[in-house]
Amino acid sequence: NAGVTQTPKFRILKIGQSMTLQCTQDMNHNYMYWYRQDPGMGLKLIYYSVGAGITDKGEVPNGYNVSRSTTEDFPLRLELAAPSQTSVYFCAGGGAYSNQPQHFGDGTRLSIL
Amino acid sequence: DQQVKQNSPSLSVQEGRISILNCDYTNSMFDYFLWYKKYPAEGPTFLISISSIKDKNEDGRFTVFLNKSAKHLSLHIVPSQPGDSAVYFCAATPDNYGQNFVFGPGTRLSVLP
């Protein structure tokens, strides 16, 4: 079972560059999420989606964009990379209810230099 | 202001003894709580959850206790094993529908053989 797959695992970007973090899932989750985790902090929600074609902002959306054209894929786009976006990014999938735990990918470690 | 706090960044326990990880929250509207475990270079994985209508939930070696009046929950691991060494995140949500979780910063547990 692949579950939730994130690519790449590591990336170094220069300030001002752009990139897309890929996330795909084969668990048929309607809900999908992007989080970032900074050192010593909990996961903070960037964007989420409740289904194909529907996305919404989380707690820290500035500097990011998402799209959800299919149930399986939920890419996260950084348009103008800034040092403050250096972080570990996690994608997750889940159900609609709180008692349906989210399933996480293994993360993308992104450094902006 | 952190709504979910895990005041111990790290904890060391001898193999076979009890591990107690603590979590405090400030939002009285939080209604559902989860614990996730995270190994290095992997995404968080769901461990155990509890609804606010309960004060205890058990799953094998793992028990979560909830004290709503004190806005405090704890995770007990008995007996602790070296494979339990990981970072443990507490998460809370006020919603039964939708997954608007707030994560704590995590506690790194080391179980010493």
Which one of A7, A21, A98, A106 would you mutate to disrupt binding with B, by most B Cβ within 10 Å of its Cβ? A98
Distance of residue A75 Cα from the nearest chain B Cα, in angstroms = 17
How many other C-beta atoms are found inside a 10 Å radius of the C-beta of residue B82? Answer: 10
Q: How far apart are CA A18 and CA A82, in angstroms?
A: 10
Q: What is the pLDDT of residues A32-60, one digit of tens each?
A: 999 999 988 889 999 999 999 999 999 89
Q: Is B101 on the interface with A (CB under 8 A)?
A: yes
Burial class (CB in 10 A: 0-12, 13-18, 19+), B113: exposed
For residues B21-28, give the mean pLDDT.
96
DSSP 3-state of A67: coil
Identify which of A43, A90, A101 has the shortest CB distance to residue B49.
A101
**Which residues of chain A neighbour B42 with C-beta distances below 8 Å?**
106-107
What separation in angstroms does the CA of A10 have from each of A7, A23, A90, B24, B43? 8, 14, 12, 33, 14
Q: What is the pLDDT of residues B41-76, one digit of tens each?
A: 899 999 999 999 999 999 999 999 999 999 999 999
What separation in angstroms does the CA of A22 have from each of A9, A90, A109? 10, 10, 13
Summary mean pLDDT of chain B: 93
DSSP 3-state of A83: helix
Q: How far apart are CA B49 and CA B65, in angstroms?
A: 10
Q: What is the pLDDT of residue A98?
A: 75
| For residue B1, pLDDT beyond 80 | no
Torsion angle, alpha carbons of A94, A98, A101, A102, to 10: 40
Cis peptide before A83 (omega within 30 of 0): no
